[in-house]
A and B are shown apart, each in its own frame.
Chain A
Amino acid sequence: MFLEIIDVIISGLINGSVYALMAVGLTLVYGVTKAFNFAYGSFYNMGGYFAWMLLIPLGMIGGYFSVFFIAIPAFFIVGYLLEKVLVSPLRKYDDWEMKVMMLTLGLSLFMDFGYQAVFGPRIKSLPGIIEGTIEIGKVVLFQQDIVIFILSIGGMLCFGWILNNTRTGMAVMAVAQNPAGAQIVGIPKDFIFAATFAISTIMVGLGGILLCQKNFIDPMGSTNIMIKAWVITAFGGMGSIRGSLYAAFILGMLEAFVGWYFGMIHVQIATLTLLLATLAVRPQGLMGRE
């Protein structure tokens, strides 16, 4: 019983850390560009399929190291182009928010069934990033879990550092606070919008590569991931990075415990109940500003 609970807590922590990575990307892109991205889950699957394609059929030398090395620039380019081609032309309309939602929902359907058409409808599994276990007393830890945890937290801290300490990062923050003001002082607003979208694509794509090792790649699972990322973002407060960090771990734990105690089918109901309860009591989320 005690050991089981330890296992559940560990699985909650791992899921929470990857969710945090994805949710921070989402809160960043919403905070800066105000675009509500419904295709977020499909980018997660894109990460999974990208790694699968490089590792299994192509047999990439260097394993996950070269996957990450190729994935980061590739996802940046995909995200950048998508923003430039699909989202930014809509910005000139009055009701562009609604149009972006519809467009990304269509894009998500297109991508999901595209995966199905290309890779087949079956779920795929990725090899672990590292094999083997560590035993501490009676608790058995997978080395894979530890690496996933370290990589996702490390990736998030890295993005946080970039955001707070580099010129580009500060430009992103400036655009988030006041787009017009940022443009007046010479920050290329359109580039920042596209770059933020691209960075969020990288973050969710990396999340996909990391989490798909544990949870398989399911071509139809993207809506679940999208809802999860959005619930974390809304629960933590839109635009608040620290809030989504806390929310991601709370939700990861909640999910692990509900899944263990009541069964996996209730996880989504519990998640969404949490969302509704939070929004009813505190519409701005856990750490969001009014």
Chain B
Amino acid sequence: MILILSVFYCLMAIMPLFVGSADYIMNILIMILIWAVIASCWDVIMGFAGIFSFGQVAFYVIGAYASAILSVSLNIPPVLAIIMAGVITGLLGVIVGLPCLKLAGPYVALVTFAVHMTLIPFLRGPLGRAIGSGGAQGILTIPPIRFFGFAFSSGHLVPFFYLTLVLTIVCTLLLVVIIKSYWGTAFLALKDSENFATSLGISAFKYKLMVFAITSFITGLFGALYAHYVGMLSTKMLSMDVFTILMIMMVIGGIGKYPGVVIGAVITVTINQLLAPLGMYRPLIMGAIVVLLVLFLRDGVIGLIQNLSRSQRKFTEKNEPLKVAPKGK
């Protein structure tokens, strides 16, 4: 896991040396970094904790809008606004998570997806306009991030890329530590058998809320980062094809096979950019890709690699002379 991740981030870190002048490619790289973290969060909540949360895009958008509103309407400096947006999203994650604790799988999917669907009329309607979401037009003038007088705007992509990279590595490390620690084991135990895990003293309440809080915090943070990167927001971010992109990352990477989604993000963002000239047919193809991948790619890329290495091992074992283990030990 750590090997794949470190190879990936090292490769990403040296990429600007070769393509730093091409804004088009730099934009793709930045989006890969952002999506990789969001997809990882989804993998942690869905693959590890086994909660069918379909509100990941909603949290992403909440983070983006929260930071934009804070920095545009209240004139809070972007760095502070991003952190506050993360905290707000984390709190909302806990609020959404609370009713989900009592519910069975599909109901959780319904409730979290309902949050996603409510956001669209909320942000476009008079309620959203009252808090400064800009209604159907969206927010157009989001200030770029400033550090000691240096602006990380979309004009200079290379500094922004490294800022995103640093944040990405920090958040990825956090996720890895969580997965490897006692908490990660607790999530897995709750996923496999909730009754048995609670009988061993693992509090379902505490850990499920915790996973909601952490993943929505990180997702909100990156949503906010995205808002200050592109400088404008609209409810288009909530459309189904954004959701599908996230889902394709998950399916390509394999559900619950953690570093897989990072590879999934690389592949998906690239495919999405390549399909962009097709216009209206792009979401059509994306939908078809999801259906085919779910049917034929069982555990994603990681599953494929594991299967390959397993069959290789079987092959070598078959050709080796049979060793009889001493019995009665």
Contact = CB atoms under 8 A, between A and B. Distances in A.
For the complex of A and B, the 10 pairs showing the least CB-CB separation, nearest first, are A106-B290, A110-B287, A109-B287, A113-B284, A103-B294, A265-B125, A272-B114, A36-B106, A113-B283, A106-B291
A106 B111 contact: no
Interface string B107-135: 10111011101101110111100000000
A151 B52 CA distance: 37
A99 B294 contact: yes
A116 B280 contact: yes
A227 to B, nearest CB: 5
A234 B117 contact: no
A283 interface: yes
A97 interface: yes
Interface of A: 30, 36, 86, 89-90, 93, 95, 97-99, 101-103, 105-114, 116-117, 121, 223-224, 227, 230-231, 234, 238, 265-266, 268-269, 272, 275-276, 279-280, 283
Given A103-B294, A268-B121, A109 B107 contact: no
B250 interface: yes
Residue among A98, A107, A108, A276 having the largest count of chain B Cβ atoms under 10 Å: A98
Contact of B281 (A97, A108, A117): A117
A39 to B, nearest CB: 10
B79 interface: no
Contact of B295 (A86, A227, A231, A279): A86
Contacts, number: 127
A276 B114 contact: yes
B118 A105 contact: no
Contacts of B281: 113, 117
Interface residues of B, number: 47
A279 B291 contact: no
Contacts of A101: 52, 54, 106, 109
A261 B283 CA distance: 36
B61 interface: no
Nearest to B243: A105
B105 interface: yes
Given A113-B280, A279-B103, A227 B113 contact: yes
Contacts of B114: 227, 231, 272, 275-276
27 contacts: A95-B256, A98-B46, A101-B106, A105-B243, A106-B244, A106-B247, A106-B291, A107-B287, A108-B240, A109-B287, A109-B290, A110-B288, A112-B240, A112-B287, A113-B283, A113-B287, A223-B117, A227-B114, A234-B107, A238-B106, A268-B118, A268-B120, A268-B121, A269-B121, A276-B111, A276-B114, A283-B104
Given A227-B114, A266-B125, A106 B99 contact: no
B118 A272 contact: yes
A152 B243 CA distance: 34
B284 A114 contact: yes
B233 interface: no
Which secondary structure dominates where chain B touches chain A? helix
B227 to A, nearest CB: 23
A142 B273 CA distance: 50
B220 to A, nearest CB: 20
Contacts of A234: 107, 110
A209 B284 CA distance: 24
B241 interface: yes
B124 A265 contact: yes
Contacts of A238: 106-107
B298 interface: yes
Nearest to B286: A109
A96 to B, nearest CB: 10
Contacts of A30: 106
A108 B244 CA distance: 10
Contacts of B120: 268
Interface string B264-302: 000000000000000011011011111100110010000
B47 to A, nearest CB: 9
Contacts of A279: 99, 102-103, 107, 111
Contact of A106 (B46, B117, B124, B294): B294
A109 B244 contact: yes
A279 to B, nearest CB: 6
Nearest to B292: A106
A116 B126 CA distance: 29
Given A109-B284, A112-B287, A279-B102, 18 more contacts: A95-B256, A102-B251, A102-B294, A103-B291, A103-B295, A105-B247, A106-B286, A108-B240, A110-B284, A113-B284, A117-B281, A227-B113, A231-B110, A265-B124, A269-B121, A275-B111, A276-B114, A279-B111
A97 B250 CA distance: 15
B205 to A, nearest CB: 15
Given A106-B244, A109-B240, A86 B291 contact: yes
A102 B241 CA distance: 13
A46 B38 CA distance: 33
